[in-house]
Homo-oligomer: A and B are copies of this chain.
Amino acid sequence: MHDLVRRLHPLCRSITGDGVRGTLEIIGEHLPLAVREVPTGTEVLDWTVPKEWNIRDAYVKDASGRRVIDFRESNLHVVGYSVPVSGTYSLAELRPRLHTLPEQPGLVPYRTSYYAETWGFCLSQDALDGLRDEDGPFEVRIDSTLAAGSLTYGEYVVPGRLPEEVMISCHVCHPSLANDNLAGIAVAVALARRLREPRHTYRFLFAPGTIGAITWLARNRERLHLVAAGLTLACAGDPGALTYKRSRRGDALVDRAVTHVLRDRPHEVLEFSPYGYDERQFCSPGFDLPFGSLTRTPYAGYPEYHTSGDNPDFVTPAAMEDTLDALTRVVEVLEHERTYLNLSPYGEPQLGRRGLYGSLGGRSDTKQAQMAMLWVLNLSDGEHGLLDIADRSGLPFAAVKGAAESLLDAGLLKEKA
C-alpha cells in the first residue's frame, strides 16, 4: 500500500484532467477499473461538469532567471484550476496571489479555485519572506489549459450473490497529498483485491470530490435503492486512531457494523455533520443513503492537513494495515449479518447431548463459545440479528457468527425468511 502511495504522490490531480486519468491508470494496474468520462457542460443534479484543467509547468522567476516558485518541485505551488498566465510582475503586484501559512512557516498550503477563474501560487511563509522587491521584476508563467473536455472517474465492481451493494468511495482530486487521499485509495485497492465471491455486490468508486460524487449520483439515480451500505474512505494512513462519522440516519447497518468493529480498538465515533468528504453528497436529504465516513484523524484534524507536510512520510504502513484490517472486519459483519429463529425457544435446548456444551458442571470459567451460543439462542426471536446479539452481549461478531453456525448445524436455528 505504501508503495502505491509513493507512486501516486507526484501526480498533479485535480477535479478533472490528466492527473486523475493517470491516477486511475495506476489503480487499473491493480484492479480492472471501468473509467468513465463525462463531458464538460453535462448537467449533473444542481451542478454542471466544469471545463477540464491541465497543467504542464508553472513558475515565478526572479530577475536573475532563477525559479523562486517552481511547479516542477511540487504541484502544490500552483492554485488548482489556475488559468494560464504569462507576464511580468513586481513583488507588490504578486503578493495578493501568493498564498502562505504564516502559522506554519515551513509548509506550502493547498489551494484551489474551481468555480471562479483566477490564478495564484502557494509557497511557504519562509520562502515568501526570502523574496525581496529588488529581486524583481518577476516573470510569471502558468502553462495550463482550462477548456472543454471531461470529468473522469473510475469504478470497480465485485459482483456478489445479491444485487444489494456495499460502496467504498475515495476522492481522487487532491494533488500531492498523501494521507488525503492516496492512503485511502491504497487501502481501498487492497480491500478490493481481498474480496472473493462476496454475498453483497461491492462497488469501489474513485472520483473527484464533490463534483465527482454528484456526477456519479446523477448517473446512477435509478440504482441507488440498491445501496445497502457505504463508506467514504479518507485520511486512512496517519498515525491517529480510527474515527467513524455516522451516516445521516445514524443507526444504519453500516453505522452499527463499523461501531461494532471499532469497539475493540482505540477509536472515536462522531455524529453526522454535513461537511467533510462525499458523505455530504450521499447523505443529502433527497438521497439519504446509508453512508458513513471512515478516517483515521479526521478532516482538518492534523497540522499537516492540506499542506506539503502531508507527504508519503506522514502515512505509515502500520496505520494503513490497521485501517484495512478494520475494513475487512466490517466487510465480515456486512457479509454475515443475519437474523435467525431459535427452533427450540422454550427453555434452553439441551446443548450437552448435541455435543455443544462441556459436560463437567460447576466450573465458572464458561467459555466464550458457550456464552455466544446462549446469547444467540436467547435473542434469536426474529427481532435481533447477529450484530444486535454481538452488541448486546459484548462478544465479538465472529464468536456470535460461529455460535450461530454451530447451532444451525445442530438444527436449532433457521434463517428468518
Residue numbers of A with Cβ under 8 A of B are: 45-47, 80, 109-116, 118, 210, 213-214, 217-218, 221, 248, 271, 273-275, 280-281, 283-288, 299-300, 305-306, 342, 344-350, 352-353, 359-364, 366, 371, 374-375, 377-381, 392-393
Question: Does B45 contact A362, Cβ atoms closer than 8 Å?
Answer: no
Question: Does B306 contact A364, Cβ atoms closer than 8 Å?
Answer: yes
Interface majority SS on A: helix, strand, loop or mixed? loop
Question: Does A115 contact B374, Cβ atoms closer than 8 Å?
Answer: no
The answer for the CA separation of A299 and B378 in the assembled complex, in Å, is 19
Cβ contacts under 8 Å, A214 to chain B: 347-348
Cβ contacts under 8 Å, A47 to chain B: 347, 350
Q: Assembly of this chain: how many copies?
A: 3
Given contacts A300-B364, A364-B305, contact A348 B111 (CB under 8 A): no
CB < 8 Å neighbour of A374 from B218, B280, B288: B280
Distance in angstroms from A361 CB to nearest chain B CB is: 4
Distance in angstroms from A25 CB to nearest chain B CB is: 25
Cβ contacts under 8 Å, A345 to chain B: 284-287
Cβ contacts under 8 Å, A350 to chain B: 46-47, 115
CB < 8 Å neighbour of A111 from B280, B342, B360: B360
Distance in angstroms from A18 CB to nearest chain B CB is: 20
Question: Does A45 contact B285, Cβ atoms closer than 8 Å?
Answer: no
Cβ contacts under 8 Å, A113 to chain B: 359-361
Cβ contacts under 8 Å, A221 to chain B: 346
Cβ contacts under 8 Å, A115 to chain B: 350, 352-353, 359
